[in-house]
C-alpha cells in the first residue's frame, strides 16, 4: 500500500491553553529553523503525515494553524453514542467542520482508566466511520482476539490498527522490532492487510526503525515538547524515502 507514513502525536490530558499556544509557537519556530526556504513545512512533511491530537478544548488550534504547520487533526477518543443527550461525551456532530481525519479508539488508557471494553470500541468505530473519520484501533496481545469477535470484519476493513503493548506506553521500554513485526502478522491474519501502526515509548532515535516495519507510529511523551516533536518528525522523514 502506498501511503504516507503517519506520525500521530497524542498529547493526552496534558497542557493548559497558554501551554498549547506556546506549543504552536515552538513548533513553527522549529520548522522555520529547519529550512531557510519559505516552504519549509511542505518540505518537512513531503513524505510523512504529521497528526496532532490535543485535548478537546484545543482541537480548533490544530485546524487554525494547519496551513502554517502542515499538521493534520486527530482526536484521542470519540463518543460511542450519536449526538443527543449524552452529557460529557464528544460526538461526531460536535467535531463536524473541524476537519478531524483520524481518531484513536480503545487506547489502553481508555481501557484501563475508563473501563472501555471491545463492545464500546465497536460502537465508537461505527460512530467514527459514519462521520468519515478513520479509526485507529489500539490493541495488544490481550485485547486483539476479543476485538476480532466484537467488531465486524466490514468495519475493521476501514480501520487502521495500532499495536500498543501497555508495558511499552510511557515507560521508556519500547517493544522489540521483532514483536512489532510478529504482531503485524497476527493483525493481517485477523483483519486483512489494513494499515498498521505501533505506539509505545517511540522517540526521535527509534522512530525510523519502527517506520521500516509499520505504516506509522503513535507518539505520546515525545510529542509534548514541540521542538522535540519536530526533530522526531525530521528523523521520520529522513528514513522514509519518497515512494516507499
List residues with catalytic annotation: 107, 164
Least gap, CB of 120 to ligand PGA (angstroms): 18
Determine phi and psi for 229, rounding to 5 degrees: -65, -40
Query: Taking the alpha carbons of 236, 77, 93, 125 in that order, is the dihedral positive or negative?
Result: positive
Q: Is 79 exposed, middle or buried (0-12, 13-18, 19+ CB in 10 A)?
A: buried
Nearer to ligand PGA, 43 or 234 (CB): 234
Least gap, CB of 6 to ligand PGA (angstroms): 12
Least gap, CB of 219 to ligand PGA (angstroms): 5
Contact window for ligand PGA (CB under 6 A) among 63-71, 77-85, 123-131, 213-221: 213-221
Site string for ligand PGA, 157-196 (x = CB under 6 A): -------x----xx--------------------------
What is the spatial distance between Cα 123 and Cα 137, in angstroms, rounded to a whole number? 12
Contact window for ligand PGA (CB under 6 A) among 35-43, 128-136, 146-154, 218-226: 218-226
Question: Does residue 5 sit in helix, strand or coil?
Answer: strand
Nearest-Å Rg of the Cα atoms of the chain is: 17
All three cell numbers of 212: 521500516
Least gap, CB of 128 to ligand PGA (angstroms): 17
DSSP 8-state secondary structure symbol assigned to residue 168 = G
Q: Which of 9, 195, 199, 216 binds ligand PGA (CB under 6 A)?
A: 199
Nearer to ligand PGA, 117 or 228 (CB): 228
Q: Under a CB-based contact definition with an 8 Å cutoff, are residues 6 and 214 in contact?
A: no
Does residue 218 touch ligand PGA according to CB under 6 A?
Answer: yes
Least gap, CB of 92 to ligand PGA (angstroms): 22
Query: Taking the alpha carbons of 155, 156, 157, 161 in that order, is the dihedral positive or negative?
Result: positive
For residue 153, give Cα distances in angstroms to 36, 123, 159: 48, 14, 10
Q: Which of 201, 214, 235, 240 binds ligand PGA (CB under 6 A)?
A: 201
Does residue 215 touch ligand PGA according to CB under 6 A?
Answer: no
Site string for ligand PGA, 124-143 (x = CB under 6 A): --------------------
H or E element at residue 112: helix 108-113
| Binding residues vs ligand PGA (CB under 6 A) | 10, 164, 169-170, 199-202, 218-222
Amino acid at each position: 500500500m502506498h501511503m504516507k507514513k503517519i506520525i500521530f502525536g497524542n498529547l493526552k490530558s496534558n497542557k493548559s491553553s497558554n501551554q498549547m499556544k506556546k506549543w504552536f509557537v515552538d513548533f513553527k519556530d522549529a520548522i522555520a529553523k529547519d529550512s531557510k526556504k519559505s516552504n519549509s513545512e511542505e518540505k518537512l512533511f513531503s513524505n510523512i503525515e504529521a497528526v496532532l491530537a490535543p485535548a478537546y478544548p484545543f482541537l480548533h488550534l490544530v485546524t487554525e494553524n494547519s496551513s502554517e504547520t502542515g499538521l493534520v487533526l486527530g482526536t484521542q477518543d470519540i463518543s460511542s453514542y450519536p449526538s443527543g443527550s449524552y452529557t460529557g461525551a464528544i460526538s461526531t456532530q460536535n467535531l463536524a467542520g473541524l476537519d478531524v481525519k483520524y481518531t484513536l479508539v480503545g487506547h489502553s488508557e481508555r481501557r484501563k482508566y475508563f473501563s472501555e471494553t471491545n463492545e464500546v470500541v465497536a460502537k465508537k468505530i461505527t460512530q467514527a466511520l459514519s462521520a468519515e473519520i478513520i479509526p485507529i484501533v489500539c490493541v495488544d496481545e490481550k485485547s486483539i482476539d476479543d476485538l476480532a469477535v466484537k467488531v465486524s470484519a466490514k468495519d475493521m476493513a476501514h480501520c487502521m490498527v495500532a499495536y500498543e503493548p501497555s508495558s511499552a506506553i510511557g515507560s521508556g521500554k519500547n517493544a522489540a522490532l521483532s514483536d512489532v513485526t510478529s504482531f503485524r502478522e497476527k493483525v493481517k491474519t485477523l483483519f486483512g492487510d489494513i494499515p498498521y501502526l505501533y505506539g509505545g515509548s517511540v522517540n526521535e532515535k527509534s522512530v525510523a526503525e519502527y517506520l521500516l516495519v509499520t505504516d506509522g507510529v503513535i507518539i505520546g511523551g515525545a510529542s509534548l515538547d514541540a521542538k522535540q516533536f519536530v526533530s522526531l518528525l525530521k528523523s521520520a522523514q529522513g528514513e522514509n524515502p519518497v515512494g516507499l
